[in-house]
Structure 1
């Protein structure tokens, strides 16, 4: 038994042999089935860093009233806005020079891994 384990550990079997196929199968099982049962505690983090006065615009859909766009705005661009109405006005001040007149539907903060607000996503109807 020890000899068998040592052979598996040092991968001494030839390609195409039964034991080689067993080792490859175990590796593939670990790669494809392991993430379903093993919690690696991996959480995707928003890594998009925006330069000053840079706004990311994504199309979010079409309604009867028009197109909906999602604008991602840096939190530093909204400095001084402490209430929701002030944030809404500040967001519109950033968006309207880019897109013209829009109707802001909603906005929500984007937080980093430590919980600090780094940017805002704003949904606007154009």
Structure 2
């Protein structure tokens, strides 16, 4: 038994041999089964793109200014800054990735006082 395990470890069996096929099968099982059983720290992107396009410009430093339509952000009037920051961050993820940091924001309104667009200063 010890000799068989040592042979598996050092991969000494010739191709086409039963033990060679077992080793290849174990490697393939590891590759295709472990992502379903083990959290490797990556997460698949489930992107929900906004209804309207976003515009991105540089802020002149290391960040960016992203303009979103107000309808793409679900924020109620009077929500605390922490909630607004979180909602804006989620809205920016499809464009800027999940490591985006929202520094500040402005909400512009039309002549009737209705929300029109968000201007968000962010960086990665």
Structure-2-length-normalised TM-score: 0.51
- The alignment covers a number of residue pairs equal to 72
Per-residue CA deviation, residues 34-91 of structure 1 (Å, 9 max, x unaligned), is xxxxxxxxxxxxxxxxx824211111111xxxx1101111111112444132221111
Q: CA 1:80 to 1:106, structure 2 compared with 1: closer, same or farther past 3 Å?
A: closer
Q: Select 2:73's aligned residue among 73, 78, 100.
A: 78
Partner residue of 2:107 out of 103, 106, 109: 109
Match of 1:95 in 2: 92
Q: CA deviation at 1:120?
A: 0.6
Are the counterparts in 2 of residues 70 and 123 from structure 1 also a CA contact under 8 Å? yes
Unaligned stretches of 5+ residues in structure 1: 1-50
- Structure 2 spans left out of the alignment, 5+ residues: 1-49
Q: CA RMSD in A?
A: 1.9
**Which of 117, 120, 123 matches 2:118?**
120
| Per-residue deviation, 1:125 | 1.6
Counterpart contact for 1:78–1:87, Cα < 8 Å: no
The ranges of structure 1 where at least 4 consecutive aligned residues each deviate by more than 6 angstroms after the TM superposition are none
Normalising by structure 1, we get a TM-score of 0.50
Tell me how far apart the structure 2 counterparts of residues 86 and 75 of structure 1 sit (CA, whole Å). 15
